[in-house]
Structure 1
């Protein structure tokens, strides 16, 4: 499930080269995905950045309606920012597109076997997090909705409200409302302080 046809076609070709794997359906949006899983696949590969939908929301919906379905997130987004959220949403694994060619078959077999797939670096990061008391910042970030989290992430990458609105296929007014909610939840007084916070947060990951 990816909103880029070339990526869907390339991944389909790669997987169909292996005799024990067969792609039964593809989709470019959350709506198409929910219709496509009628073919009863064993595994869904989901991108976080769909054209007008949140991949994390799609993962939650798939997990709710298909509790036995194996779900692997394949994304361009940094795993240190999104892997844990993907797992909390119901994914069984997280793989970045930059390393997909080398590791995707291993990731697929791991999640189909009922295991969790993460990179070695991400496994180590989560293990360290279990042994170190969480900072107040982490708790505050955790209070954000998935959409607010996306907006905060894009602010930290330097995108303007209009650019974020275009990326998420939402109105500027909606993005500004999300920003207001973020400032309230994180007790940040101004837009300038929000940008500084977002940049520092991304750099600290």
Structure 2
């Protein structure tokens, strides 16, 4: 499924003499429609495609080479963080901005580390979405003021930082498994979602127990559910 909207306007973003081309990657049709309508109202952006999951997003990347991809963390087929890494390995010119409902304090830095150019909460107003897109197209990283302050304080070694959260020590894959456990998914369901063997997912579960200092699978599941509820995952 690929929808294309063509816009013509003298207003431009800093990408040469054309509008900035955008591909939306989100597994919720209503979200895609809302973002499409928003982009249609902006004379400096052109929506050239939509995708529900990673495979389709990568096909659109190879075919269209868009200026920016607006990506969610949770996708129908794949994970947004892994998708960002694949986009970066395939294209040096396509910027990635994440738009998600997941907790910014958990995912924003991971998005940047994966090669993304910013993290935007879906709860933001339409005006802020366009501001974030324009900032990214100007070559800047977009984060909320609160997240920017958090990152700067950590970089400066602020004495007011709280005790380290063991969740921060998890790799992106480990976090994805942990999130799946918190959502009540079985090992088989997680392996299917992540395209990994059941044995590999079981290995990740053992690593999670070690890193999070829990004794067994029941404690790990309880910890994952509590975390998911706390962060509204």
Bin for the TM-score computed over the shorter chain: 0.7 to 0.9
In structure 2, the residue matched to 1:29 is 53
Q: Which has the higher helix share?
A: 1
- The reply to whether residue 149 of structure 1 matches residue 175 of structure 2 is yes
Task: Report the TM-score, using the length of structure 2 for normalisation.
Answer: 0.73
| 1:74–1:94 CA contact under 8 A, matched in 2 | yes
RMSD of Structure 2 on Structure 1 (CA): 3.1
Shift of 1:102: 3.5
CA-to-aligned-CA distance 1:1-24 (integer Å, 9 cap, x gap): 011122112211210211111101
For residue 9 of structure 1, the aligned residue among 33, 37, 55 is: 33
Indicate the SS of the match to 1:44: strand
In the alignment, is the contact (CA less than 8 A) between 2:106 and 2:168 conserved in 1?
A: no
- Structure 2 Cα separation of the partners of residues 149 and 79 of structure 1: 14
How far apart, in 1, do the equivalents of 2:185 and 2:35 lie? 33
Gaps of 5+ in 1: none
Rounded Cα–Cα distance in structure 2 between residues aligned with 1:154 and 1:123 = 28
User: Which of these two proteins has the greater Rg computed from alpha carbons?
Assistant: 2
* Alpha-carbon separation, structure 1, partners of 2:86 and 2:54: 9
Task: Find 1:54's aligned residue among 56, 79, 91.
Answer: 79
Matched, 1:95 2:120: yes
CA–CA distance in 1 between the matches of 2:143 and 2:207?
31
The CA deviation at 1:145 is 3.2
Q: Quick check: 1:113 aligned with 2:142? A: no
Q: 1:132 to 1:116 in 2, by over 3 A?
A: same
Match of 1:183 in 2: 209
TM-score under structure 1 length normalisation:
0.82
Long gaps (5+) in structure 2: 1-24
1:70 Cα deviation after fit: 1.2
User: Could you tell me how far 1:40 is from its partner in structure 2?
Assistant: 1.9
Structure with the bigger percentage of strand: 2
For these two proteins, the number of residue pairs brought into alignment is: 201
